[in-house]
Amino acid sequence: MVSVLPLGGGHAGLAGITSFLTSGTQPVDMPERRDPPPTEEGWYALHEFRTIDWDAWRDAPERAREGALSEGIEYLEGALAVDDAGEGASAVYSVLGAEADLLLLHLRPTTAHLDALQRQFERTALAAFTDRASSFVSVTEASGYSERAREYFEGDLDETSGLATYIQTRLHPTIPDATHVSFYPMSKRRDPEQNWYDLPFEERAEHMASHGDIGRDYGGRVVQMITGAIALDDWEWGVTLWGDDLTDMKELLYEMRFDPSTSRYAEFGPFYVGRRFPPADLPALLAGEPVPTDGEVAGDLDRAVHPADTGDGAAAGAGAGAPAASAPSGDPAAEEAASGADGDAAEAADDADTASGAGDAAPDSEVPDDIETVTDDDMPGRLATVGLHEGEDYPAGTYGLAVYSTADASTLAEEVEGLRGNFEHYDSHVLTSVRAAGGQSAVVSVWETERAAGIAEGFLTDLSAVSRSVSGPLGEGDEGGGDASGGEADGADRGDADRGEDGGNTGDAHVAGAAGDIREELADMDVYAGQPHGETIYALVLYSTADRDRLREAVEELSDGFDRYDTHEGTTLYEEPDSDRAAVVSLWATQDAANTASEYLADLPGLVGWADEGEGFNTMGMFYTVQPDHREAFVETFEQVEGMLAEMDGHRETALLVNADDENDMFIASRWDSKEDAMAFFRSDAFTDTVDWGREVLADRPRHVFLA
């Protein structure tokens, strides 16, 4: 029986119903809605897995098989050449195991392109011998979990910046010519006690950063592509990994299994593993022969999926002892901290070493037409102007490149890191480094052979805002020379120095002037300026106006992470009295380590600049460790010197900064109009008297760093 409640009269009846329906109910606290990170989408992706009907293939007449092979090769070659669209990429793989026989991978600007590719294959005679085993439809994406990535999504970055360029490579990737591919779909767990989407934004971001740290160790060995599939397929993401050694992928994912972002919050679908082969080898594949038939993966030498770094994906691969820039995260939750490795660039360089035929001309490096290319007979002198010297940094008889860019040094370093991580896997590679050069950034790369350097040039000139490429042999030369006429160099001897991200100083002696003349002058005055008189160390100095407790916590966290690396000499917070500005100083034993560390330091809160940014000539007096009994006298003397400096021509500012954890450790930062103004002070009697007095009160010998 159904009871009917009479409405009675007018609104009174409705009020009664409302009272009846709501009587006894209590207010319910709704859970807080979590903030999703912003995303941007790029090309659509189709992973199509097909099985071969082997019985039908064996029973088919030879003529039918030949026709199927001919049409299949034509289709695949057209797809790989992207004949159907103005942009995109495709590849074909032989799948290992019983799940499928072939993987057709397509990246295209629209779903219409993918749909047409599917239909076109079905029209080939080869399709009659295959069945679709599975497929995955998704779209390339980048998301804004990290602070720097959010700058991109909020429109605060120039579209030509390195970070913006890097994100575009995520959205519009190319497919590397790696031997193996591994694909799997995945989703984030939504169990009551382990719900990824219920976690606060900050906790998700921490998981991503931690997870990405693991992937960075695989830079140069594994390349990844993350594609989003929410509302497009049964799983939320697709993860595609590439590498020449399949065990590298196994080791990567094995290590990630123990990370909480995987062990607690990840669900995985089936895994597919394949080997790439060129379409022309389709007959050999179906005949049961090894492919590729030449033992190598055919295809154009092109950029890998994620050629940059860092940044929010930082770049992959780092030198030994350096905190590695990120490689594949293997998990979309960590994709902001994960970049791929430029495997193609490394393979190209290796090809240069193994190519047969003595005296072969270097292959076309595909340098863009709008980039000026120059051969320099005094390449050793050019490299000396940016602190690289024959015998110290590279052997004689090698071949050098200097690629000049107007891009910001930090964003350029992110892009370079992925290339360098891969270059280092090949014996012909000597070094690749980002340097400061006369208001520009210079990417210097040294190789054992001209052929290898020629191929690497094609990849280096594809970096952001490159306008000129200079190359030449590195034989016997004037180490103190330089190309004064070229205008590329900033006139700084970088002997043991490098420029880090965002213009950060990665050397302990950014000595302005050719051939270390400042060092020599100071040495004559018995003033220690670092190399070549003592140990090698590389310094990064940046300034922040963030809340001091927040900054201290961030610096301590970074320093603890850096301590995992033998090359880390210390990262310290210095406070400037009577100012809201603080300085962070990070010291490293190698250039590559300092370069990579600068990426992490650039994410510190409240960053307002690096020590060597801006106009003028800067000096850093470091390692002023004062004997405790003389600290008060040292501070008073500094105030007197500061007053004298204020009266000197060309002096802009000088500040004394104090270690936040040790009041007896200080450094002095000064800015001058020019090198000549600074040297006038160093030659003065007042400075000589101060140096003499300092020997009595300092526990260690200070070192002076020069930033042009």
Largest Cα separation within the chain, whole Å, is 109
Q: Does residue 325 sit in helix, strand or coil?
A: coil
Catalytic one among 152, 166, 184, 426? 184
Between CA 54 and CA 690 the distance in angstroms is 88
Q: Cα separation of 337 and 335, whole Å?
A: 5
Instruction: Say if residue 682 is exposed, middle or buried (CB neighbours under 10 Å; 0-12, 13-18, 19+).
Output: middle
Measured CA to CA, the distance from residue 564 to residue 577 in angstroms comes to 32
Supply the DSSP string of 66-133, one letter for each residue.
HHHHHHHHHHHHHHHTTTTSSS-EEEEEEEESSS-SEEEEEEESSHHHHHHHHHHHHTSTGGGGEEEE
d(CA 147, CA 606) in angstroms, rounded, equals 11
Residue 325 and residue 342 in contact, taking contact as beta carbons nearer than 8 Å: no
Q: What is the DSSP letter of 627?
A: -
Looking only at the bridges linking them, the beta strands covering 429-437 and 440-447 are: antiparallel
Sheet holding 466-474, edge to edge: 372-375, 466-474, 398-405, 440-447, 429-437
Distance in Å from the first CA to the final CA of the chain: 92
**Does the annotation mark 394 as catalytic?**
no
Query: How far is 467 from 369, CA to CA, in rounded Å?
Result: 10
Give the number of other CB atoms < 10 A from CB of residue 147.
Answer: 15
Contact 353, 342 (CB under 8 A): no
What are 652's two structure tokens? Answer: 């802009």
- Catalytically active residues are 184
